[in-house]
Amino acid sequence: MRTKTLNVPSALLCFFFLSCHHLLRHAQAQVPSTVGYTCSATANRTAYPCQTYALYRALSPDFLDLAAVGDLFQVSRLMISNPSNISSPTAPLVAGQPLFVPLSCSCNSPNSSISISYANISFTIKSGDTFYQVSTHNFQNLTTYQSVELVNPNLEATNLTIGVTAYFPIFCKCPNRTQFGNGTNYLISYVFQPSDNISTVASFFGVQAKAITDLNGNNIQPFDTIFVPVARLPVLSQPTVVPSAAPSGKTERKGVIRGLAIGLGITGLVLIFVVGFLIYRDGLLKKKIDGKGDEENKVLYRSKQGSERRKEMEVGLMADVSDCLDKYKVFGIEELREATDGFRESSLIEGSVYKGSINGDLYAIKKMKWNAYEELKILQKVNHGNLVKLEGFCIDSEDDCCYLIYEYVENGSLYSLLHENKNEKLSWKTRLQVAIDVANGLQYIHEHTRPRVVHKDIKSSNILLDSNMRAKIANFGLAKSGCNAITMHIVGTQGYIAPEYLADGVVSTKMDVFSFGVVLLELISGKEAIDEDGNVLWTSAGRILEGNEEEKARKLREWVDNELFLESCSIESILNVVTVAIACLHKDPSKRPTMVDIVYALSKSDDLFFDISDNGSSAPPVRAR
């Protein structure tokens, strides 16, 4: 919407120049390539990445329920059922039933000579799978085996090992500014069927046939992926489920859930879950209604206690619990006791997080009171290499608590590596990589989740480093879905909290940007966000870039971690990161950059670093200036 107002003039301009219009049409008629659709990540960065949709059809026999389709595309059932006009996410599907599957579309360069746009979906090869079979059957020609080969250069297409992970590039496109300006908010990926013609596709999506040919050309072949420009998703009319099939499916589910509840011996627990799910459904409701405050809806919802409401809630609860059960392992409390030596002190990592070994695999096990639901709900929606992965959960009814079980991240927190482990110093290259990893993780939760997720507690102790020193964001305990909400209850960590949040309780993605700026300062200076005397690091940062070149250089030398002077790393690279950090710390949240801008700016720092190191010894050490 923001872009709409910006670009009306340019669209109008084009409208008046016939030749320009003509050119446009030619450029738009892009020939589908077997490897994918080329894109430009740098030409206008705002276009990529984006959230888009693909039209997928329920397919017999493997893809006849939302759980199977959701697993394939790594999204939850609700993320498909909501845009697809399906009221009961657990009901079976009818073969051929249309679904809108959400995709995170980005512009990627699988090799240095080509940039193509796709959603990167991981897929574990099972017996009998080939790139061709999975592309044409499972993904229904939303990609091609040629493209899969391009994206997986390390895999031998004719000799796939069972259990290996391949990445399937699902074709997608993001509208550029011109298209946004013309009212196109999504370019839906659609596989042209043999029974289709342009007019039937156009009327299915409620658009003009010309809009489709302008974008995809006139020579559309069956099984080509085409892009349909729409302002909003059309409402799919879903087949009414055969009456006899629906109840049986439902009772079965009910049985499973009830069985589980009894199995865990926690009938009372259901009540707690109900409250948790109430909050969850509030979030969804909020999205559906409008931007009203979270708190308001909560109150509204709780005050209505009619039996109808309760029934509705029960149905929702079923769907949502089963959503979690699909994705996560449910651990037994005995298993966890054994893994952690009875929660001995020696297994404690920090706070209430224990290290445990289950069947030879290491896990981090976090003990919680009944506040795990928020985190579970958020982690369920996200899947990114720079976010700590949740593996499962456990409910201990006797002790009235529950546990979240995460992947174990070997090298511990950035905080301890920077400030506690004085012997082992992090190189500038590693620090830069950490910054870029965290920025990517945050970009993902800010841009690719609907509603957006705000972490709210970004700090060096919530950033973990794996065995390759790649960073992962942990601890989504305070994270919040939704944006621009106001909270009364201020949470977070001193030294990292954005001033507007402290003052007014305004929650926005820009508060994470602020905290990220503080983490950058820690990486540059090696100092803690708040020192023993209570001095807050960020308050002194603004002054570094004041004054003339000489003063700047002097102040920078005072600031930068002495360890970095011992390395021959580029001062331009450091200066660039300082500039990013200071932009993040702007008092006015609207003036802070977005994580998309930050990822871009930090990659530039990375280039500066590598440019220098390529020249080897000719690189001037920091000290030289």
Ligand X SMILES: *[C@@H]1O[C@H](CO)[C@@H](O)[C@H](O)[C@H]1NC(C)=O
Nearest in space to 130 (alpha carbons), one of 151, 152, 155, 158: 158
Q: Do the Cβ atoms of 580 and 606 come closer than 8 Å?
A: no
Least CB distance to ligand X at residue 469 (A): 16
Residue 218 found at the interface with ligand X (CB under 6 A)? no
Residue 17 found at the interface with ligand X (CB under 6 A)? no
Q: Do the Cβ atoms of 51 and 104 come closer than 8 Å?
A: yes
Q: Do the Cβ atoms of 322 and 253 come closer than 8 Å?
A: yes
CA distance 341 to 16: 75
| Residues in contact with 437: Cβ distance below 8 Å, sequence separation at least 6, in sequence order | 386, 470, 471, 472
Four-CA torsion 34, 36, 42, 45, nearest 10 degrees: 160
Per CB under 6 A, the segment of 159-167, 254-262, 490-498, 592-600 that binds ligand X is: 159-167
Residue 6 found at the interface with ligand X (CB under 6 A)? yes
Helix axes 509-525, 428-447, angle to 10 degrees: 180
CB-nearer residue toward ligand X: 214 or 326: 214
CB-nearer residue toward ligand X: 19 or 112: 112
Residue 28 found at the interface with ligand X (CB under 6 A)? yes
Nearest in space to 351 (alpha carbons), one of 415, 285, 280: 415
**Identity of the residue numbered 576:** N
CA distance 368 to 483: 26
Site string for ligand X, 245-284 (x = CB under 6 A): ----------------------------------------
Least CB distance to ligand X at residue 326 (A): 20
Residue 110 found at the interface with ligand X (CB under 6 A)? yes
Helix axes 571-584, 595-614, angle to 10 degrees: 170
Residue 108 found at the interface with ligand X (CB under 6 A)? yes
What's the number of CA atoms in the CB half-sphere (13 Å) around residue 15? 10
Least CB distance to ligand X at residue 60 (A): 11
Site string for ligand X, 344-373 (x = CB under 6 A): ------------------------------
Helix H or strand E segment including 268: helix 267-289
Per CB under 6 A, the segment of 108-116, 282-290, 295-303, 617-625 that binds ligand X is: 108-116
Residue 111 found at the interface with ligand X (CB under 6 A)? yes
CB-nearer residue toward ligand X: 240 or 617: 240
Residue with tokens 């799978």: 129
Helix H or strand E segment including 473: strand 471-473
CA distance 241 to 439: 44
Least CB distance to ligand X at residue 56 (A): 10
CB-nearer residue toward ligand X: 43 or 491: 43
Please spell the DSSP secondary structure of 314-349, one letter per residue: HHHHHHHHHHHHHHSEE--HHHHHHHTTTT-GGGEE
Q: Which of residues 173-192 bind ligand X (CB under 6 A)?
A: 176-179, 182
Per CB under 6 A, the segment of 109-117, 295-303, 413-421, 536-544 that binds ligand X is: 109-117
Residue 490 found at the interface with ligand X (CB under 6 A)? no
CA distance 359 to 604: 43
Q: Do the Cβ atoms of 167 and 122 come closer than 8 Å?
A: yes
Residue from 64, 68, 125, 150 that binds ligand X (CB under 6 A)? 150
Residue with tokens 């090869």: 125
CB-nearer residue toward ligand X: 17 or 223: 223
Nearest in space to 36 (alpha carbons), one of 134, 132, 108: 108
Site string for ligand X, 40-79 (x = CB under 6 A): ---xx-----------------------------------
Say whether 512 is catalytic.
no
Q: What share of the chain is helix, strand, coil (3-state, %, to 5)?
A: 45, 15, 35
CB-nearer residue toward ligand X: 3 or 352: 3
Residue 141 found at the interface with ligand X (CB under 6 A)? yes
Question: Angle 347-349-355 (CA atoms, 0-180°, nearest 5)?
Answer: 50
Residue 503 found at the interface with ligand X (CB under 6 A)? no
Residue from 124, 199, 267, 535 that binds ligand X (CB under 6 A)? 199
Least CB distance to ligand X at residue 466 (A): 13
Residue 197 found at the interface with ligand X (CB under 6 A)? yes
Least CB distance to ligand X at residue 368 (A): 27
Per CB under 6 A, the segment of 237-245, 259-267, 399-407, 495-503 that binds ligand X is: 237-245
Write out the two tokens for 599: 């990822």
Least CB distance to ligand X at residue 242 (A): 13
Residue from 38, 124, 133, 200 that binds ligand X (CB under 6 A)? 200
If one counts every other C-beta atom within 10 angstroms of the C-beta of residue 298, the result is 16
Least CB distance to ligand X at residue 161 (A): 5
Q: Do the Cβ atoms of 417 and 424 come closer than 8 Å?
A: yes
* Longest CA pairwise span in the chain (Å): 81
Interface with ligand X (CB under 6 A), residue total 40
Residue 170 found at the interface with ligand X (CB under 6 A)? no
In 351-439, where do the E strands start and end?
353-358, 361-368, 390-396, 401-407
Residue 136 found at the interface with ligand X (CB under 6 A)? yes
Catalytic position from the list 457, 512, 561, 597: 457
Residue 120 found at the interface with ligand X (CB under 6 A)? yes
CB-nearer residue toward ligand X: 214 or 341: 214
Residues making contact with ligand X (CB under 6 A): 6, 11, 14, 24, 27-28, 35, 43-44, 85, 108, 110-114, 120, 136-137, 140-141, 150-151, 159, 161, 167, 176-179, 182, 197, 199-200, 223, 235, 237-238, 240, 385
The catalytic residues are 457
